Structure 1
Amino acid sequence: MAVAGCMSEPRNRNLGFKTLSIIPVDSGKFKLEGEVRSSSRNADENWATFHNVSVVGYQSSKSVVFRNYIGTVTPGYDGIRNISTVTETLPKFITLVADETPCDDSTDISILTLNEGEKTYSEARHRKCKEPELPRIPE
């Protein structure tokens, strides 16, 4: 319900990482483990659900290091999906891709960047669903 003179919050949905850890394993490889979640504001669950979601890791050259399919991600605790993948190279960027249907400018998807010295990932920015899978990110 809007109050006179005030606008209600527009609907929004977000696909992002709840957690992501780097675990060194044998032979110089790394295991990435974490959780992916969807959140929404002023939106019904059907619109806020993401279908055919994959976690994708990229090098700076935008070459794919890994692509890990995780399925459907819905808002709330029951919709959280786990990721676990082993890679020889830590990707510079990690993002999520989905069917993103329906899609509009109220959809944000996280892009993480590697903090090389710390061996952790932090959020670089959000991309809008109509942007390329890995848009230009300042180094």
Structure 2
Amino acid sequence: MIYWLNEITAAASLVVLALCARGFVPWILLGSARDARTWVTLMALVGPSFGFFRMAYWDIYRPLRAYLLDGQMVVGSLEGTLINSAFNLGAGITGFCGLLALYYAIPTRRRAGWNIFTAPFYPDGFRIGLWRRKGE
């Protein structure tokens, strides 16, 4: 079970980082080249994006591919698993901080009904199946 810890922490971190990217990309696209917010946002996305692709390949794709094709999981050392899991958690915490930044970027009077997991979709809203939440 401990060997799946790496995959579990990587998957959770990937979801949080993907939500951050969804929330911050519009800031970059709408900003001007001289806007400091654009460059800070870009900096905040570039670093974690390398971690995102590293986790997707090394911690999700490779073990899953080996398991599906060979019927065996790629097993590393216990120390390596714990170290990778710690880095995955660090990436998840970074993404969580980004989600908090997106939440607090929503004007206070419009913040009711939004939370850190829906904040990346402000003000357009989000769609899950047939259920839709519209922004104010």
TM-score by length of 1: 0.24
Q: Which has the larger radius of gyration?
A: 2
Q: Which has the higher strand share?
A: 1
Q: Which has the higher helix share?
A: 2
TM-score by length of 2: 0.24
